[in-house]
Structure 1
Amino acid sequence: MNSPALQERRLELQVDRAVFGLSGAEDRELRQVLNGLGDAVDADDGIAFELAAATLAAAWAEHEPMPSDVRDRVRARLAVEPVLTISQRTPDALTRHEGARRGNLRLIGTWGGWAAAAVLAVAAGVQWWGGSQNSAAGDAAAGVVAVAKRQALVAGGATPLSWAAWESQTGQSGPSEIAGVTGDVVWSPSNGEGYMRFVGLPPNDPAKEQYQLWIVDAELGLSQRISGGVFDVPTSDEVVVPIRPALGFTQPVAFAVTIERPGGVWVSDMSRRVVIAFAQ
């Protein structure tokens, strides 16, 4: 089986695991598929699908009826394998269920049709809501995956560093441009992956300005800070944003967020400061 076919089968099995749980034979097949793909697969996808199933099913169950093709697939599966609530699952089933084994997923009710639909949407990277809602729904699905992957990093030992007001941490005069922003940043050197979490960061107009992350590396110093990517914030509620460094770095000692022109800048004067976090 070639790589695209393996990827397709991998997604199908991971979706089924997130929604229904796998039989012994299916679990063995998934392990074989993952071994066959090797580095071509993200090890955190499974937990992301499971969290997506719970979160999206709860949040969007009232938006619109499930698409007929997804509904037919779910019904066919339910006809031969009834869905169990968590309290009804056997010890063997709980052992098989990676999310229950990890213990860090909030499982909502029974794993029914909307859970299946939500996970399939994340696996495909698209949503089915029509018209102008497509982009917003896709962004929401990506946000759910980011939340799950951030949680996986923390569960794996990465330490969240709390955001703080710039002046309180650096002693520089002049307040942060935006007050009251909380949250944290987490970076895993071993995974080369990280995420920012914000609460109270106001939505921006991408046509006028964007937020930009800056990473200070111990070897390069403040004068050669690295861009961690520009990003937009759609809501002042809690948001999780992936870090996308422009260059490699080895030992981050600080992360700082500024407001810059659309598209960001290579060198910032750091005049529009928002928050900063220092490594412990």
Structure 2
Amino acid sequence: MITTSAKPLVSIITPVHNDGKYIGATANSILQQSLADYEWILIDDGSNGETAEVLARLAASDARIRIITNPTAYGPARARNIGIAAARGDFVAFLDADDIWDTSKLEQQVGFMRDHALDFSYHDYIPFEDGSGRPISRIRGPKRLTLFTHNARRGVGCLAVMLKRNIAGNGVFPAMPPGLVAEDFAAWAILIKGGLRGERLPKALAWYRVRKRSFSSNKVRSARSVWFIMRKLEGFGKITATFFLASFFCTTMASRLVARVSAPVQTLTSPPWH
């Protein structure tokens, strides 16, 4: 059994809500990391008994795994903040309970941040279809994250972000009004406005599982959420917010169009999709 130090290098934060079906593949990608000096904090966010049993078995199998149990479902943003507050590592990374990392992700990203003296970083990732495992596209963020690049295009997924622990405090994800999402989009905007420096590691080091949902309702909710963030949290006027929102969705649709006519370049070892 691998043991963890009192102060691991990296704290991995994973909110879990009834994800027992997928957590095995996620666990494999973490437990096989080439950088082994980490703790994995799983926040059981009001899951059912079956998922709780899966998490208990994981924790019993490896001393680096810690379970925090919420009495009810708080949602992924608050659950991540709870994980951050409990984190002991020098760096904090995020992975949802149905997504997958390349086995060299932690080693490469920690090295990148140290080499470039960064407060936070992000890398490319590949969405794939739940069930078939088919890669959909390759998501690339901007080279450097500024208020302009962050608001004008997509590309900084939570599963790709790593932060220095000392800038994360007791949490970086703001509370959103009921029905709104995109707390991670808001979190990165808040960090940028605070003067922190983030850059892209230009490698695809994660896979994002795309489950079947209502496309139209998700897009409407996403648009309402991003509009709220731009107007209320970032303080943009209506004209500026409209420009950024239009640019954001144009780049999103353009990337999907490109993905339809050309399959993504898959340079990583085929992951355990299921």
TM-score category of the 2 structures, normalised to the smaller one: under 0.3
**Which TM-score applies when normalising by structure 1?**
0.25
- Of structures 1 and 2, the larger Rg is shown by 1
